[in-house]
Amino acid sequence: MSATNPDSAFTFLSQGALIQEFKVTGHNIVQSFPEAKFYKTHNDAYLGETIGRTTNRVKGAKIDGLNGKSYQLAANDGENPNSLHGGSQGWGKQDFEGPKPVNRNGKEGVQFRYLSKDGEEGYPGTVECFVWYTAGIVGGKTVLEVEYQVELVGDECEETVVGVTNHSYFHVNTEASTTEGTVVTLGTNKYLELDPHQIPTGKIATFPDIGSAGEPFTLGATEPAIDDCFVIDSDAPVSCPLDTRVLPLRHVATISHPNTGLHLEIQSTEPAFQFYTGDGLYIPEAETDKGIKIPSRGKRTGIAIEPSRYVDCAGREEWRGMCRLKKGQTWGAKSVYQAWKE
């Protein structure tokens, strides 16, 4: 899909409704594979995927007290006993219907649809998910708008839990292999304090070593190493609507690199976001049908920025209002990505 300029264009795939290319003045600023087949065989890193039925981690891979029952989920978080990114075969590994060309809000776009059946990865209820991507050039910037919408359409239960985001790894230092030297500005310096298993303790604290909210910091070769959920709205457990699209967009993060002049700004209606500097990232080498070898990519070769609700809100009763979806309700979210070259 073009943003009216071939050097600023997008490519999406039906698997995971994923983002394969995000081109800005000819530069692809997301880590990707050149052929769709590699997303089936080489993508343990979730490159570009739509994450669901929940985002991030669920403590102990178990949800208690939903529909008056307990639900066991897939434990796929390495040494941690949690469920990660919707399970072993979450939405990012599933084939969506689409891309279907649409005109949404007066803009060129594509639509993806996925029907997640009751019991998939342990989650109750059949839900229908729509993902819309719309693109354009606004004020000289390449703009991608992403909307998510989920409804409980099955009759198997009265409620379920939902969370959806995108797991692209952004790389604006396209002249080098790593993100070293990338300048980062976050919309908040508040984060969810974690226990040893990467699950929130319930405390919102100030993240160390990155300065104040809105203060730029630079990624070095190894530091700072970040894999944390930052909090935009500390009142979200009581005030966050199920469909956050009714809220204004808020600044999530901006990244840029002086060597390339490439910038990316992310805004979202969501109350939090995961920021990951890719210190555990590994993308295996591959070979295309034409025999072209794609070298492996390792740690700190991309930055994941995932707008979302709080980590483990599905498993934590006092936070579950952010993600509990009942019959007749709509879960929704919107994020906007603006990129440009100076």
List, for residues 103-135, the tens digit of each pLDDT value: 998 888 999 999 999 999 999 999 999 999 999
In the numeric block, the tokens 């709080």 are attached to 310
171 is an active site residue: no
What pLDDT band is residue 35 in, cutting at 50, 70 and 90? very high
Structure confidence at residue 4 (pLDDT): 53
Mean pLDDT computed over 160-188: 98
- Least confident window among 4-18, 73-87, 98-112, 201-215: 4-18
Structure confidence at residue 308 (pLDDT): 98
Q: Is residue 2's pLDDT more than 60?
A: no
Tell me the sheet residues that pair with 22: 10
Amino acid, res. 99: P
Mean pLDDT computed over 159-167: 98
Structure confidence at residue 1 (pLDDT): 62
Structure confidence at residue 3 (pLDDT): 56
Q: Evaluate whether 112 touches 52 at the Cβ level (below 8 Å).
A: no
Q: Which of 167, 171, 257, 263 is catalytic?
A: 167
Structure confidence at residue 6 (pLDDT): 63
Mean pLDDT computed over 296-313: 98
Q: Evaluate whether 232 touches 187 at the Cβ level (below 8 Å).
A: yes
Task: Summarize pLDDT for 227-284 with one digit per residue, the tens.
Answer: 999 999 999 999 999 999 999 999 999 999 999 999 999 999 999 999 999 999 999 9
Question: What is the model's pTM?
Answer: 0.97
Mean pLDDT of the chain: 96
Q: What is the spatial order of strands in the sheet that 8-13 belongs to?
A: 2-5, 8-13, 18-24, 27-28
Q: What percentage of the chain has pLDDT greater than the value 90?
A: 96
Mean pLDDT computed over 279-302: 96
**φ, ψ of residue 237 in degrees (nearest 5):** -60, -25
Structure confidence at residue 5 (pLDDT): 63
CA distance 336 to 32: 20
Structure tokens at 330: 């709509």
Structure confidence at residue 8 (pLDDT): 67
**CA angle (110 as vertex; 4, 323 as ends), nearest 5:** 125
- Least confident window among 135-139, 156-160, 202-206: 135-139
**CA angle (306 as vertex; 331, 79 as ends), nearest 5:** 105
